[in-house]
Amino acid sequence: MQNRLGPNRVGPFGIFQTIADLFKLLFKELIPIKDADSFLFNLAPFIVIIASFMAIAAIPFAKGLHAIDLNIGVLYVIAVSAMGVIGVLLAGWSSNNKYSLIGAMRSGAQIVSYELSVGLALITIVIMAGSMQLSVIVEAQRDGWFIFKGHIPAFIAFVIFLISSTAETNRGPFDLAEAESELTAGYHTEYSGIKFAFFFLAEYINMFIVASIAATVFLGGWMPFHVGHWGGFNQVMDFIPPFIWYIGKTFFVIFLMMWFKWTFPRLRIDQLLTLEWKYLLPINLVNVLIMAFIVLMGWHF
């Protein structure tokens, strides 16, 4: 995608590069910042990483394979993932660095704005499933994934969820919070060693979480792909273990997010917020109403 080789020294084709980076960051010196608020400065990375791990708890990897099956699973994931923004704002402010503060403010505005669209896109499917419990939502897709069963509103919700979650995780082309070319590194400029690794890791964990939620809610989670009355085809699909289905769908969504990053140029901050407030949010609100009407009339499959 990038049309370049990338890091290729560690392991065959550079596949162990990430592990090498992890060890490098673990053993790097933690540089104390002279006038930083030390308590908040040290607390911020932990808030960011804990919020990410709390969100993973509710995700069903296969039938019965999740840490906790909450009856408000969707609400829980939205709520705990929203806590990460507190860590981001604390990191920027406590660093006592104007670049960090600008980065944190941008990131805060971006995450809070796009959370609305992520929530509304999920609500569209919650209306259709009639439940917030993730295992029930997956079970409802046994005879067809919601992206196919929910007509056009489900597809629109999927596209909006993909755009909004990419923005919410600070991935390109929405990575203004850490636009290296103009803001050094945004809110984590002053961090080093393992604290920096926490921010770095949290971004990728969050990417995995939003891809998992997309796979679970829109693409049937661990459910295999079935086509109507094609008995033989459906049996072949059933041979693939549920966990493999889930991982495959999740990585497909991650691939789409990566594709975004390498295809589009970075947006300006005003364009970024205009996209959310003037376009995605109104489309989403109308989409929720249309889905509610379809469910009320019983027009879905």
Q: Tokens 């996209």: give the residue.
A: 275
pLDDT at residue 65, as a whole number = 81
Residue in the structure block whose two tokens are 């390109």? 172
pLDDT in the model for residue 301: 60
Q: Which amino acid is at 244?
A: I
Closest CA to 83 of 56, 51, 114, 123: 51
Query: What pLDDT, on the 0 to 100 scale, is given for residue 7?
Result: 77
Q: Dihedral angle at the C-alpha atoms of 112, 272, 127, 242, nearest 10 degrees?
A: -90
Alpha helices in 57-139 (DSSP H): 73-81, 84-94, 98-129, 134-139
Residue by residue, pLDDT tens for the chain (301 residues) are 667 777 778 888 888 888 888 888 888 888 888 888 889 999 999 999 999 999 998 898 888 788 888 889 899 999 998 898 899 999 989 988 888 888 888 888 888 899 999 999 999 999 988 888 988 888 888 877 888 877 888 999 999 999 999 988 887 787 776 656 555 667 878 888 888 888 888 888 999 999 999 999 998 888 887 776 777 777 777 788 888 989 999 999 999 988 888 888 888 888 888 999 999 999 999 999 999 998 888 876 6
pLDDT at 175 (0 to 100): 75
Reported as a single tens digit per residue, the pLDDT across 226-236 is: 776 777 777 77
- pLDDT computed for residue 86 by the predictor: 92
- Please state the φ and ψ torsions of residue 65, each to the nearest 5 degrees: -105, 75
Q: What is the CA radius of gyration of the chain?
A: 20
For residue range 10-60, what is the model confidence (pLDDT) as tens digits?
Answer: 888 888 888 888 888 888 888 888 888 889 999 999 999 999 999 998 898
214 closest CA partner among 281, 166, 272: 166
Give Cβ neighbours of residue 74 (< 8 Å, ≥ 6 apart).
Answer: 122, 126, 132, 134, 137, 217
Say what the pLDDT of residue 120 is: 93
Predicted pLDDT at 184: 65
Q: Indicate the SS3 state at residue 65.
A: strand
Burial of 150 from C-beta contacts in 10 A (0-12 / 13-18 / 19+): buried
